[in-house]
Amino acid sequence: MSAPQAAWLASPGGARRLHLQHGPIDLVIGADGAPAATAAAYDAAWARFQDILVTLVGELALLRQPLGQAHPLLRGPVARRMAAACWPHRDAFITPMAAVAGSVADEILQAMTQAAALDRAYVNNGGDIALHLAPGQSFRAGIVCNPDHPHGDAIAVLDAAQPARGIATSGWRGRSLSLGIADAVTVLAENAALADAAATMIANAVSVEHPAVQRQPAQLVRDDSDLGALPVTVSVGVLPIFAVREALSHGVRRAHDLRRRGLIQAAFLSLQGETETAGGDLPAGISQQAVG
C-alpha cells in the first residue's frame, strides 16, 4: 500500500509549488510570505496530510449515505467539514462526499495558516481550492470550462475584502459523476467545502430532457459510487440553443437560491459556449475575458 507522497513542482520563473498525493487525493499547494513562514506552512501541510485519507476511509460507509433528517455523527475533522458543508442542501439528494475535495483543501489550508503567518496561500485539490488572503492581498484564478479543450474561459479575481475563500468547480466532464449536463459550474463561497457542495448541487440542476443527453445509473458507471441508481450524465451531444438556455436557467435559479441563503457568493455556469453568472456583485469578482 502506498504512503502519502510529496514532490515539488516548479515552473521556470514561477514560484515552486508542493504536490501532495495519496490515493485519489492530489493537492497542489502554494504559499507566499516570509521564507521561514512558508517553510513552516509547507511543513505543516505535509504533517497534516499524513492521515487524511486513512481517517476518511475509516468513515467512508457513513459518508456515502445520503443526508436525511439526522446529522451524521462523524469523528474525523475532514468528515465533519463534509457533513457541515452538505447539510444545508439535504432537501435534495446529497451525500457528504459532495464536499470531500473542498473539505480536504480547507483542512490542509487551516493547518498551514495555523502554523505560520502567510501573505497568501492556496490548496488546490483537483480544482477545488481553499484560499488564504492577508489584508490587501488578492488571487487571480482562471476558469476552464472544458477540460478536454483547456483554455482560460474566465478569470475570477478574489481580493481579501471579499468574503470568498473557496472556489470549486463541478460538471459532468469532471472526475465526479454529475446528475446535470453543465460543462462547468464554478462557485465562490466562504470556504472550499461550501463551494464544493454548492457547485455539485448547481451543476446537478443544470439539466434538460433531450435525446442528445445520455444518462446511466451511477452504479453502472463507477463502482462504489455514492449515487447508487441515480441517472448520471455519460454524454451530451450538441444541444439546440433553447435547450442550452433552459438547462442553464435551472442552474441559475438554484444558484440564486443558494446565494439568498448565504451559502455562496457567486457562481459561473457554462454549457456549450453559453455562460451565465449568478451574484449581484459578481462582475467585480469574475470578469469574463478571453485569455485562451
Partner 1 sequence: MNQAVATTENPKDAVVRCDACPVLCRIRPGRAGACDRYANVEGVLTRVDPLVITERAAAKGESVIPFLAGSEGWNGSVAAPPPEAVKPAAFVTGIGAGTTYPDYKPAPFIVSSQYDGVDMVTVVTEGIFSYCGVKVKIDTDRHLGPEQAAVRVNGEAIGHVTTAEYGSQMLSLGGVHHLTGGSKKEGTVTCDAMLALCNKQPVTVQIDGGAELVIQSGRPPIVNGVPEARMRVGCGSATIGIFAKQWLDHADEVIVVDDHITGVLTEHQAGRFLDMRLSGIRVRGRKSTPGRYFQVAEPGLGWGGTNISDPLEIIESIDAKTAWPGLRLLMVSTTGEHSAWYVLDDALKPQPAPMPAAVVAAVERIAENCEPSLCTVLFMAGAGGSLRAGVTENPVRLTLSVKDRLTRVTAGGAPVYVWPGGGITYMVDVARMPDNSFGYVPTPALVAPIEFTLSRADYAALGGHMDFVVQLDDVLQGGRLSRQGQRPDNPWPVARPDAESQP
Catalog residues that contact partner 1 under the rule CB under 8 A. Answer: 1-12, 14, 16, 18-19, 21-24, 26, 28, 35, 39, 42-43, 46-47, 53-54, 57, 60, 175, 222-224
The residue among 151 and 222 lying less far from partner 1, judged by its C-beta, is 222
Shortest Å distance, C-beta 78 to partner 1 = 13
Shortest Å distance, C-beta 278 to partner 1 = 30
Shortest Å distance, C-beta 47 to partner 1 = 6
Residue partners of 63: CB distance under 8 A and separation at least 6: 56, 72, 74, 79, 82, 83, 95, 96, 97, 100, 226
C-alpha cell at 246: 433552459
The residue among 191 and 225 lying less far from partner 1, judged by its C-beta, is 225
The residue among 73 and 241 lying less far from partner 1, judged by its C-beta, is 73
| Sign of the four-CA dihedral 143, 166, 76, 228 | negative
Shortest Å distance, C-beta 272 to partner 1 = 25
The residue among 54 and 160 lying less far from partner 1, judged by its C-beta, is 54
Shortest Å distance, C-beta 259 to partner 1 = 31
- Half-sphere exposure at residue 229, Cβ-oriented, CA atoms within 13 angstroms: 0
Closest CA to 186 of 102, 68, 75: 102
The 10 Å Cβ neighbour count of residue 284 is: 13
- DSSP-derived letter for residue 4 is P
Give dist(CA 199, CA 187) in Å, integer: 6
The residue among 58 and 231 lying less far from partner 1, judged by its C-beta, is 58
